[in-house]
């Protein structure tokens, strides 16, 4: 009876685990017994696991990860430093909003990755080109979320601060920034996804190191298990970072429901 | 005085348009007040040169040829993702077990930039149109799927119970309550899906391709034809802006009651 209760409480987790287990077993069995496996085009979990072990013991994987994350962090940090102030000013000053909104919306809506070849050729295949690409892609979610955050600030709270003689600094630090924070974190979640696209595309296009390069290289030489190692690591990083942001969002703003579009 | 009123009435339009015009003018005039070094001049172009290149490429049919290939990949991939994403989203929204089984994969795939699968897809589907269709599909299907099932899950329980009490079966519940309620979510998903699909077309054509607008950009960049790069980028920009704004119009008409938190593309 207790087992049943336990199961129904953690139903979600158990079903997820079961479905993972089932998928990997089915994949493994299918390629081992039903299809004669052609290692050039297909691979199976046991081979991927072996590749994982081998890569974890080597140094190349860690080096690639370090190179990619360096580019990502530079671009992302600049996106934070530039994006948030621009968004705050846009939300606070009507004229700035009118001037910048159409231009930035057009850029946000368009696939700026299309500039990747140009960026790589102008800035080189090193960290700079990729970081510039990451910045370009990741800055817009910060701008528009900070903007929306300021816009949604309760004007009653602003009036209260003003009525009690609070200074402009109090206004920003005690009302606008706290109410904008959850929006900014939501923006960071979107920016992570876009930034990763920037790193990957930059490295696919031209690179000599980095995780994106490792994936294409494995693909070009038909080493499918190694390729899956790269793909799985990237997914884990992406899922980990986005879930972290989601948790942070709930922590900073528990009152907000998060059923918005992902 | 009249001029002032006119300005006050159209301030947002004037400032927004003025900013873009000013930016283009400054860009155009850079060569006039600053002489670029030979190396930098290779990477530099002006809006007027881009326009001239655009009309040249349009006249000799280059753009039409590439555009046609890209459009097919875009439409086929997006169509496929609608055909798969909507029904699956509806089913996942109605069945908790199925949702629990599939949600981890959906969440993981949605968080991962789908672009990482590109080398794998090129290996499996070749460098022809199919690998592009599949990458577009992979990009566009998840926003649609997730939004559809969020919409279905947010349906008002009371309404479902009312319809059930009057003897409706599952299909009728779907038709009368669930679908109309999810339409705004689906449209929002479609808007995101369009953005992802265009991204898929661009990047898919960068690698292992011989046709399409993405290929045009990538090959022009490696030949230092910066004008052509900007022509391609401008075409993609115009298309995405037009498509997303069109869907946005539809969205605000259908879902004026749904509060928007922040812009997402």
Chain B residue nearest residue A16, CA to CA:
B101
Q: Of residues B144 and B41, which shows the higher confidence score?
A: B144
Give the residue from A111, A204, A216, A242 with the most B CB atoms within 10 Å of its CB, the best one to mutate. A111
Q: Is residue A262 part of a domain?
A: no
The yes-or-no verdict on residue B141 having pLDDT over 50 is: yes
For B39-82, how does the pLDDT look when each residue is reduced to its tens digit (9 = 90+)?
677 778 888 888 898 998 888 888 888 999 999 999 999 999 99
A29 shares a domain with A148: no
Residue B123 pLDDT: 85
Q: How confident is the model at residue B34 (pLDDT cuts 50, 70, 90)?
A: confident
| pLDDT of A37 | 65
Of A47 and A144, which is predicted with more confidence?
A: A144
The answer to whether residues A11 and A61 belong to one domain is: no
pLDDT for the residue B256? 61
Cβ contact A235–B100 (<8 Å): no
The arithmetic mean of pLDDT across residues A42-47, rounded, is 81
The per-residue pLDDT for range B232-263, each reduced to its tens digit, is 999 999 999 899 888 888 877 776 655 555 56
Report yes or no on A213 lying in a domain: yes
The contacts of residue B62 (CB under 8 Å, 6+ apart) are B216
Residues A67 and A28 grouped into a single domain = no
Contact assignment for A234 to B116 by CB distance below 8 Å: yes
What CATH number has the domain bearing residue A176?
1.10.3720.10
Pick A204's closest partner by Cβ from B105, B146, B207: B207
Q: Which residues contact B179 (CB under 8 A, 6 or more apart)?
A: B90
Q: What is the pLDDT of residues A127-170, one digit of tens each?
A: 898 999 999 999 999 999 999 888 888 888 888 888 888 888 88
Q: Calculate what percentage of chain B has a pLDDT beyond 70.
A: 95
Q: What is the pLDDT of residues A93-132, one digit of tens each?
A: 888 888 898 899 888 888 888 888 888 888 888 889 899 9
Verify that A221 and A128 share a domain, yes or no.
yes
Is the confidence at residue A203, as pLDDT, over 60? yes
Which pLDDT score, from 0 to 100, does residue A257 have?
52
Closest partner CB to A197 (pick from B12, B113, B218) = B113
ipTM: 0.83
Q: Which residue of A has its CA nearest to B115?
A: A197
Structure tokens at B49: 């040169």
Which of chain B's residues have a Cβ under 8 Å away from the Cβ of A121? 43, 221-222, 224
Task: Judge: B18–A260 Cβ closer than 8 Å, yes or no.
Answer: no
C-alpha pair distances (Å), A142 with each of A38, A115, B9, B96: 46, 20, 30, 34
One domain, residues A132 and A9: no
- Do A20 and A71 lie in one domain? The reply is no
Chain A residue with minimal CA distance to B41? A122
Residue A130: inside a domain, yes or no?
yes
In the numeric block, which tokens belong to residue B182?
A: 């999810």
In this complex, is the C-beta atom of B162 within 8 Å of any C-beta atom belonging to chain A? no
The owner of tokens 């621009």 is A86
Residues A245 and A155 in one domain: yes
A209 has a pLDDT exceeding 90: no
Q: What is the residue range of A177's domain?
A: 46-256
Same domain, A20 and A61: no
Mean pLDDT in residue range B187-216: 88
Q: Each residue of A216-246: pLDDT tens digit?
A: 888 888 888 888 999 999 999 999 998 898 8
A229 in a structural domain: yes
Domains: count for chain A: 2
Q: Span A18-47, mean pLDDT?
A: 79
Among the partner-chain residues A114, A220, A238, the one whose CB lies closest to the CB of B236 is A114
A152 and A193 housed in the same domain = yes
In a domain, A261, yes or no: no
In a domain, A41, yes or no: no
Q: Is A196 on the interface with B (CB under 8 A)?
A: yes
Mean residue pLDDT of chain B comes to: 86
**Closest CB to A110 among B154, B217, B240:** B240
Question: Would you state the pLDDT for residue A262?
Answer: 39
Nearest alpha-carbon partner for B145 in B102, B180, B174: B102
**Do A208 and A88 share a structural domain?**
yes
* Residue A236: partners with Cβ closer than 8 Å, 6 or more residues away: none
Query: Measured between CB atoms, which of A98, A113, A193 is closest to B11?
Result: A98
**Residue B102's pLDDT band (cuts 50, 70, 90):** confident
Q: Are residues A32 and A50 in the same domain?
A: no
The percent helix, strand, coil of chain A (3-state, each to 5) is: 85, 0, 15
Q: Which residues contact A242 (CB under 8 A, 6 or more apart)?
A: A189, A192, A193, B111
CA separation (Å) from A117 to A101, B70, B214, B216? 27, 18, 10, 11
**A24 and A86 assigned to the same domain:** no
């Amino acid at each position: 009876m207790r087992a049943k209760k336990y199961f129904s409480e953690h139903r979600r987790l158990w079903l997820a685990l079961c479905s993972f287990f089932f998928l990997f077993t089915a994949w493994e069995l299918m390629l081992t017994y039903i299809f004669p496996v052609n290692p050039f085009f297909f691979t199976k979990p046991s081979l991927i696991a072996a590749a994982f072990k081998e890569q974890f013991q080597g140094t190349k994987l860690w080096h690639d990860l370090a190179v990619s994350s360096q580019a990502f962090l530079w671009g992302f940090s600049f996106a934070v430093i530039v994006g948030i102030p621009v968004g705050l000013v846009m939300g606070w000053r009507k004229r700035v909003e009118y001037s910048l909104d159409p231009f930035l919306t057009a850029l946000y809506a368009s696939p700026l990755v299309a500039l990747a070849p140009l960026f790589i050729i102008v800035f080189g295949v090193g960290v700079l080109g990729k970081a510039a690409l990451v910045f370009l892609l990741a800055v817009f979610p910060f701008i528009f979320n900070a903007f929306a955050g300021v816009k949604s600030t309760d004007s009653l709270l602003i009036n209260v601060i003003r009525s009690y003689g609070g200074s402009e600094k109090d206004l920003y630090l005690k009302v606008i920034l706290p109410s904008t924070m959850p929006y900014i974190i939501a923006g960071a979640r979107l920016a992570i996804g876009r930034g990763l696209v920037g790193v990957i595309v930059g490295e696919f296009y031209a690179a000599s190191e980095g995780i994106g390069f490792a994936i294409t290289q494995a693909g070009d030489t038909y080493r499918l298990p190694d390729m899956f190692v790269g793909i799985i690591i990237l997914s884990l990083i992406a899922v980990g970072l986005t879930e972290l942001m989601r948790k942070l969002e709930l922590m900073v703003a528990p009152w907000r429901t998060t059923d918005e579009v992902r | 005085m009249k001029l002032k009123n006119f300005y006050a009435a159209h301030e947002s339009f004037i400032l927004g348009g003025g900013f873009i015009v000013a930016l283009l003018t400054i860009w155009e005039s850079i060569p006039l007040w600053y002489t670029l070094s030979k190396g930098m001049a290779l990477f530099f172009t002006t809006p007027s040169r881009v326009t001239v290149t655009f009309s040249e490429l349009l006249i000799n049919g280059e753009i039409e040829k590439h555009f046609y290939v890209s459009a097919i990949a875009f439409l086929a991939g997006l169509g496929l993702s609608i055909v798969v994403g909507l029904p699956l989203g509806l089913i996942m929204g109605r069945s908790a077990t199925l949702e629990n089984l599939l949600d981890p994969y959906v969440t993981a795939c949605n968080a991962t930039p789908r672009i990482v699968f590109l080398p794998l897809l090129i290996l499996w589907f070749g460098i022809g149109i199919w690998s592009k269709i599949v990458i577009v599909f992979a990009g566009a299907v998840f926003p649609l799927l997730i939004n559809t099932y969020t919409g279905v899950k947010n349906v008002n329980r009371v309404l479902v119970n009312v319809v059930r009490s009057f003897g409706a079966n599952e299909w009728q519940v779907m038709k009368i309550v669930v679908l109309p309620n999810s339409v705004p979510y689906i449209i929002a998903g479609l808007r995101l899906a369009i953005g992802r699909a265009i991204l898929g077309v661009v990047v898919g054509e960068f690698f292992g391709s011989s046709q399409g607008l993405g290929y045009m950009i990538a090959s022009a960049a490696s030949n230092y034809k910066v004008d052509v790069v900007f022509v391609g980028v401008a075409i993609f920009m115009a298309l995405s802006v037009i498509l997303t704004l069109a869907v946005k119009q539809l969205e605000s008409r259908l879902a004026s009651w749904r509060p928007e938190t922040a812009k997402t593309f």
